[in-house]
Amino acid sequence: MTHPIIPPPSPTAAHAMGMADGTDLSPLPAAMDRLSDISIRALANLVLDAAPLDQTPQSTTAIAAALGAAPRHGALLGRWLAALATRGVVQGGPAGWWRGDGPLPDAGMDDLAPAYAALGFPPRMAASHRLALGALPWLIRDQASIQQILFADGRVLEALAAYQDNHFTRYLNRVCAGLAAWRHDRQGPGMAVLELGGGAGLTTDAVLSRLGPGRADYRFTDLSRMFTLAAGQRFPGIETGVLDINAPFAAQGGADGSVDLVLAGNVLHNAADITASLRHIRQVLRPGGWLIFTESVWENEALLTCMGFLLSPAAGAPPLYRADRRAGLPFLDADGWRAELGAAGLSPGLCLPEAVSPMAAAGQCLFLGIAGDA
């Protein structure tokens, strides 16, 4: 049986799919910068208090000891110091850091709620980040956990949703939904959709609302059964199941060449080996099938003092992000993601937003890859 090759829309048309609600985007870059400044200020205060660097340079190891940093957060501390170096607050490298002449940003806790509000987040996100900033000395020592802060009221689904609920993610989810509808309109009924790491269902909601009930064979999956059960209740008529992106899909209900469209909203950075996970995805797609995924293309500085703690390995586990092109960092840049797509037999198609768009300020992008002939 042959399958249709469906070309995606132009980048301009795809971008327009995300811009439906007429939001004024001009304040977004400045609000994002504000969050970065708050984070950098907090990190500078913490590091320079624990390890004054104006007299004697200190190695990353010595700074880790001064902070009492838990070994599993060693890579995060390295990213903190690199971010401070980018701002000129410190200079040097792992063998010796000293105080740079970069000024400390003039930003504090009072700026947090307005910045998050300008970015379209619900108040819950600013409240969580405020707690995380106050707890930084304990978080880096593992004497408090970011999970305790984010999920303090036990409402994991709401916490995950709050983090995803902002102008950037809404834009990306709308583009994703528009592309799914574009494909469906050209392919016809019975389009098989497999969503990976569906989580709190914001991507699912955007896509299903756009497609309409029963217009696709939709399978929602996640590593966590809690999320698949919640999605099953919320979205009647879809199939749900547990699926780990780190293992071949065929043994997890995803037969080779059975899917037209794979969706992965902010999931693939969780892969132990991105190259391997993209190959699993290529395997489940029909020739000409699409993978649409959204991902970070850099770690914005706001992440470093909040969600960044989730990116550290478990205690005693080996370092993460070493198996693929990431070279120890949690995210690839756009060229890196495209290179990984190509290596897995998926031709890189769209990558949005363009760098000049205010929507690019958070460092999150949507990518489309097209499965070549097997």
Our finding on whether 200 is near ligand SAM (CB under 6 A) is yes
Task: Give the max Cα distance, the chain.
Answer: 72
Q: Which residues on neighbouring strands pair with residue 290, listed in sequence order?
A: 261, 370
Contacting range for ligand SAM; rule: CB under 6 A; set: 16-24, 39-47, 190-198, 253-261: 190-198
369 close to 291: Cβ distance less than 8 angstroms: yes
CB atoms within 10 A of CB 91: 16
When binding is defined by CB under 6 A, the residue of 254, 265, 349, 358 that contacts ligand SAM is 265
**Sequence-distant (≥ 6) Cβ neighbours of residue 245 within 8 angstroms:** 196, 197, 223, 264, 267, 268, 270, 271, 277, 280, 281
When binding is defined by CB under 6 A, the residue of 187, 203, 240, 312 that contacts ligand SAM is 203
Per-residue x/- marks for ligand SAM, 134-163, CB under 6 A? Answer: --------------------------x---
Which residue, 81 or 245, has its beta carbon nearer to ligand SAM? 245
Q: How far is the CB of 198 from ligand SAM (least distance, A)?
A: 6
Q: How far is the CB of 316 from ligand SAM (least distance, A)?
A: 19
Residues 315-374 that bind ligand SAM (CB under 6 A): none
Our finding on whether 300 is near ligand SAM (CB under 6 A) is no
**DSSP for 104-161, written as a single string:** PP---GGGHHHHHHHTT--HHHHHHHHHHHHTHHHHHTTSS-HHHHHTTTS-HHHHHH
Q: Is the peptide bond before 105 cis (omega within 30 degrees of 0)?
A: no
Residues 82-141 that bind ligand SAM (CB under 6 A): none
Helices (H) and strands (E) in the chain — how many of each? 14, 9
Our finding on whether 223 is near ligand SAM (CB under 6 A) is yes
Which residue, 97 or 171, has its beta carbon nearer to ligand SAM? 171
| Residue 267 CA: distances (Å) to CA of 65, 73, 203, 272 | 33, 21, 11, 11
When binding is defined by CB under 6 A, the residue of 267, 307, 344, 365 that contacts ligand SAM is 267
Q: How far is the CB of 285 from ligand SAM (least distance, A)?
A: 17
302 close to 32: Cβ distance less than 8 angstroms: yes
Our finding on whether 67 is near ligand SAM (CB under 6 A) is no
Our finding on whether 266 is near ligand SAM (CB under 6 A) is yes
When binding is defined by CB under 6 A, the residue of 133, 180, 231, 245 that contacts ligand SAM is 245
- How far apart CA 92 and CA 51 sit, in angstroms, is 14
* Interface with ligand SAM (CB under 6 A): 160, 164, 196-203, 222-224, 227, 244-246, 265-267, 270
